[in-house]
Amino acid sequence: MKIIKVQNNEEAGLKAAEIFKKEIKNNPKCVLGLATGSTPKTTYKHLIKFHKHNDLDFSDVKTFNLDEYYPIKKENIQSYHYFMHIKLFDHINVKPENVNIIDGECDDYQKSCDDFEKMIEENPIDIQLLGIGSNGHIAFNEPNTPFTQKTHLVQLTESTINDNARFFDHHEEIPLHALTMGLATIMKAKKIVLIATGKNKANAVKHMIQGDKTPLCPASILQDHSDCTIIVDEEAAELIEE
């Protein structure tokens, strides 16, 4: 794992956006794996800036998102579909047919998961952006998810539901399930960039980098990835031993 230490989320976002820019410049037809949540907002802000300054063309890029709540309508402002359009896709020239977000409205979730996994097999992800949950989850792979898991339905844990409560007006609106790339799906990405910022990520970061490799901390599987960069701010890096 390559560790890049930065001061705060703003700087982390710029670093990650620069890595993504380099990837897209090297291969304009590359396949991006994208994340939602608070962490990647600054990354998307910088990617939009690069695009607006005529310096980054997304016209041949394909994207796959890590996850989506289930069930949820695309137009629900809490859906990850909505988030991605507002925070990134509406501001760049990615083609709608090149955007892949798992369908949170489907009846047959197993079919959606299998189709999504197959699409990724056919379009291998060149670079995957990740955040990390305070319990060590990546995408919605909660603690105890087998490392071999592909795209699947998950029941969200109490810890994740509470972490996500800040995005919802009423607690009962928070979805209890999600569809997510599995850990095996994520590990197939050729390159991974994980951003961790803020004090509440410090324990998870310590375990991911220096703890045992165990499904108790799903992010610890990244220790086995051959090209994984962790961008970490001062607060999230607090418990890392030098």
Phi-psi region of 139 (alpha: psi -120 to 50; beta: other; left: phi over 0): left
Q: Does 39 bind ligand F6R (CB under 6 A)?
A: yes
Q: Does 139 bind ligand F6R (CB under 6 A)?
A: yes
Q: Which is nearer to ligand F6R, 60 or 85 (CB)?
A: 85
Active-site hit among 9, 46, 65, 67: 67
Catalytic: 162?
no
Cα separation, 213 vs 188, in Å, equals 17
Smallest distance from ligand F6R to CB 205, Å: 12
Q: Does 155 bind ligand F6R (CB under 6 A)?
A: no
Q: Which is nearer to ligand F6R, 61 or 133 (CB)?
A: 133
Catalytic: 8?
no
Torsion angle defined by CA atoms of residues 98, 104, 108 and 112, in that order, rounded to the nearest 10 degrees: 30
Nearest residue to 67 via CA among 158, 156, 148: 156
Q: Does 233 bind ligand F6R (CB under 6 A)?
A: no
Catalytic: 137?
yes
Among 66, 99, 179, 183, binds ligand F6R (CB under 6 A): 66
Q: Which amino acid, residue 151?
A: T
Query: Taking a C-beta distance cutoff of 8 angstroms, is the pair 96, 59 a contact?
Result: no
Catalytic: 142?
yes
Smallest distance from ligand F6R to CB 77, Å: 16
Cα separation, 140 vs 98, in Å, equals 23
- Residues taking part in catalysis: 67, 135, 137, 142
